[in-house]
């Protein structure tokens, strides 16, 4: 009897040991360990540490994998407090052949970028690459007209760059000489695929007979709605507004008749949607009349989404390393038609990122969306959406990009039980902890049942 009890106790200890040893662990995050260099670049792409407080900065990192890593493992780098992200859109790091080396997701809540390796790293060696993103200065955390020490995570530690930030003293915003035509554009705060264009006509309050306005839209963008005109008096107070539905001609332009302008200025606003695939988007505004020469003003808006590239050598063997399937361009990818679609037929618009083992679908939040309604639309749960997107509550904003579906790509699966853990950790929906290996638990249960049976038989 004592032997049976000792055997039972030994099996219990073995079971606890095996279960503890096979608890699933979160994928390894290497932090900034593999980042080798960081520099700041100005708008001309030249390395610099001298900026104005309203300058846009390009942050460029180089990285080199000095040890074996696996798909699903990550590199995470925080953004210094003196900077703030310009774009929260996810992006891909690709090698020179178009293979996706890693996917990059911006976490605006925790102010960091998370790069997740794809299966490319499982079949290649000597992997290295670069990454860039754009940032503005956080004016609450800088001191102007002096050098600011800004610490960037590099090599598991920090590299401090002394950045001189000058205060902008020029007025702007209409304090200069009044103009007859002025145009500017900016990327929408809520939807990074939209550009808001503003044209100010006759701010100089010139008398213009039979005035007209012509706008020429550059390539890579489509008009998303009507054009709004706001008429103002000599004190720049609004008199009235009107909306105009326009159609572009063969020259990608439209023309609006404004009538006679006396002590009157007009502010014209409209939106365009970027098709993606190019950095700069240009539009041209013109104003003319029977008593003045036509005057022109150009405006350019740059798309400051992040990006990067990587490279690596194959590990050899008889079979060539797998190549990721072709992926669509980085979001946004699909231009909208110039005419409004039927409002009764609305299909969720998603962009898909292939990470090697999974297809990750990203949805842009629309007006009227709620987290539960999005969860229902994509046949998932509110809690799962929170996990995928690092959300702490149900609050979402129009234009916010959400991961709404992670679908594993089909692979061959062996039916036999394998007690040993897989040698590589692949990314599931998101790295999680606490999942125990069920095969070992079932084996221990069988052993305990048999031992208990033997113990009861011996007592009889």
Q: Is residue 29 domain-resident?
A: no
Q: Is residue 236 domain-resident?
A: yes
Question: Which span out of 22-31, 176-185, 445-454 was modeled with the highest average pLDDT?
Answer: 176-185
Residues 146 and 46 in one domain: yes
Of 248, 278, 302, which one is at a domain's C-terminal end?
302
Query: Is the pLDDT at 345 greater than 60, yes or no?
Result: no
Residues 20 and 44 in one domain: no
Residue 227 pLDDT: 95
Half-sphere exposure of residue 236: CA atoms within 13 angstroms, side-chain side: 8
Q: Tens digits of per-residue pLDDT, 105-124?
A: 888 888 899 999 999 989 99
Provide the pLDDT confidence category of residue 318 given band limits of 50, 70 and 90. very low
Of 256, 274, 302, which one is at a domain's C-terminal end?
302
State the average pLDDT over residues 294-311. Answer: 78
Residues 278 and 323 in one domain: no
CA torsion sign for 312, 313, 317, 318 is positive
Beta-bridge partners for 362: 351, 403
Question: Which span out of 256-260, 331-335, 426-430 was modeled with the highest average pLDDT?
Answer: 256-260
Lowest-confidence range among 8-17, 119-128, 215-224? 8-17
CATH of the domain at 67: 2.60.40.1280
Cα dist from 63 to 55, 115, 130, 154, 319, whole Å: 26, 12, 6, 9, 28
Query: Is the pLDDT at 232 greater than 90, yes or no?
Result: yes
Share of the chain above pLDDT 90, in %: 33
Residues 102 and 156 in one domain: yes
Residues 43 and 130 in one domain: yes
Residues 47 and 152 in one domain: yes
Q: Of 135, 139, 153, whose CA–CA distance to 85 is shortest? A: 135
Rg over alpha carbons for the chain, rounded to the nearest Å, is 29
Residues 61 and 152 in one domain: yes
Provide the pLDDT confidence category of residue 9 given band limits of 50, 70 and 90. low
Beta-bridge partners for 352: 361
User: In the structure encoding, which two tokens stand for residue 21, read together?
Assistant: 């040893």
Burial class of residue 396, CB neighbours in 10 A (0-12, 13-18, 19+):
middle
Q: Is residue 341 domain-resident?
A: yes
Q: Tens digits of per-residue pLDDT, 390-444?
A: 788 888 988 888 888 877 655 444 434 343 343 333 333 333 333 333 443 443 3
Residue 7 pLDDT: 52
Residues 298 and 315 in one domain: no
Residues 367 and 452 in one domain: no
Lowest-confidence range among 230-239, 358-367, 451-460? 451-460
Beta-bridge partners for 148: 163
Q: Is residue 76 domain-resident?
A: yes
Q: Is residue 213 domain-resident?
A: yes
Residues 163 and 310 in one domain: yes
CATH of the domain at 262: 2.60.40.740
Lowest-confidence range among 79-88, 142-151, 383-392? 383-392
Edge-to-edge strand list for the sheet holding 146-154: 50-52, 157-166, 146-154
Lowest-confidence range among 86-100, 201-215, 351-365, 428-442? 428-442
Residue 116 pLDDT: 92
Q: Is residue 52 domain-resident?
A: yes
Parent domain of 448? 2-24+414-459
3-state secondary structure of 297: strand
Q: Is residue 182 domain-resident?
A: no
Rounded Cα–Cα distance for residues 200 and 204 (Å): 10
Residue 434 pLDDT: 36
Q: Tens digits of per-residue pLDDT, 126-174?
A: 888 888 888 999 999 999 999 999 999 999 999 999 999 999 875 444 4
Q: 101-124 burial by CB neighbour count: b if 16+ within 10 A, else e?
A: bbbbbbbeeeebbbbbbbbbbbbb
End-to-end CA distance of the chain: 11
Q: How far is CA 417 from the centre of its chain?
A: 39
Q: Is residue 113 domain-resident?
A: yes
State the average pLDDT over residues 194-210. Answer: 91
Rounded Cα–Cα distance for residues 101 and 111 (Å): 23
pTM of the prediction? Answer: 0.47
Of 268, 302, 336, which one is at a domain's C-terminal end?
302
Contacts 24+ apart (CB under 8 A), 97-101: 97/323, 98/326, 99/323, 99/324, 100/324, 100/327, 100/354, 100/355, 100/356, 101/127, 101/129, 101/309, 101/310, 101/311, 101/312
Residues 163 and 311 in one domain: yes
3-state secondary structure of 6: helix
Q: Tens digits of per-residue pLDDT, 270-293?
A: 999 888 767 788 899 999 999 888
State the average pLDDT over residues 68-90. Answer: 89
Residues 146 and 41 in one domain: yes
Tally of domains in the chain? 3
Residue 193 pLDDT: 80
Burial class of residue 397, CB neighbours in 10 A (0-12, 13-18, 19+):
exposed
Mean pLDDT value across the chain = 76
């Amino acid at each position: 009897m004592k032997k049976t009890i000792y055997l039972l106790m030994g099996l219990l200890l073995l079971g606890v040991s095996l279960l503890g040893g096979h608890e699933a662990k979160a994928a390894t995050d290497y932090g900034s360990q593999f980042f080798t260099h960081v520099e700041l670049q100005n708008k001309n792409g030249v390395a610099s540490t001298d900026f104005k407080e309203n300058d846009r900065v390009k942050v460029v990192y180089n990285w080199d994998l000095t040890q074996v890593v696996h798909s699903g493992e990550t590199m995470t780098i925080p953004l210094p407090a003196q900077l703030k992200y310009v774009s929260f859109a996810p992006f891909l790091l690709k090698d020179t052949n178009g293979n996706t080396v890693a996917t990059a997701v911006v976490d605006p809540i925790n102010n960091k970028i998370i790069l997740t390796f794809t299966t490319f790293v499982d079949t290649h060696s000597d992997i290295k690459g670069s990454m860039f993103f754009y940032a503005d200065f956080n004016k609450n955390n800088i001191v102007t007209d002096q050098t600011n020490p800004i610490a960037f995570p590099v090599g598991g530690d920090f590299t401090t760059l002394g950045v001189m930030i000058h205060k902008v003293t020029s007025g702007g915003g209409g304090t200069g000489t009044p103009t007859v035509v002025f145009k500017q554009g900016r990327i929408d705060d809520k939807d990074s695929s939209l550009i808001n264009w503003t044209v100010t006509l006759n701010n100089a309050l010139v008398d213009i007979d039979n005035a007209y306005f012509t706008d020429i839209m550059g390539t890579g963008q489509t008009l998303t709605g009507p054009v709004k005109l706001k008429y103002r008096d000599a004190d720049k107070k609004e008199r009235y507004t009107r909306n105009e539905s326009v159609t572009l001609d063969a020259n990608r332009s439209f023309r609006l008749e404004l009538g006679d302008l006396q002590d009157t200025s007009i502010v014209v606003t409209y939106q365009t949607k970027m098709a993606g695939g190019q950095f700069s988007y240009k539009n041209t505004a013109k104003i003319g009349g029977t008593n003045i020469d036509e005057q022109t003003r150009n405006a350019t808006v740059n798309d400051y989404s992040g990006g990067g590239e990587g490279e690596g050598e194959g590990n050899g063997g008889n079979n060539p390393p797998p190549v990721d399937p072709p992926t669509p361009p980085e979001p946004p990818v699909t231009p909208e038609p110039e005419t409004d679609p039927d409002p009764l037929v609305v299909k969720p618009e998603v962009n898909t990122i292939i990470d090697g083992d999974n297809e990750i679908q990203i949805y842009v939040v629309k007006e009227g969306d709620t987290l539960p309604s999005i969860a229902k639309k994509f046949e998932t749960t509110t809690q799962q959406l929170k996990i995928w997107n690092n959300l702490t509550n149900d609050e979402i904003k129009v234009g916010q990009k959400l991961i709404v579906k992670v679908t594993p790509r089909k692979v061959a699966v062996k039916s036999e039980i394998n007690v040993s853990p897989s040698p590589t950790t692949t990314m599931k929906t998101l790295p999680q902890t606490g999942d125990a290996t069920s095969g070992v638990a079932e084996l221990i249960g069988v052993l305990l049942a048999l031992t208990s049976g033997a113990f009861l038989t011996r007592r009889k």
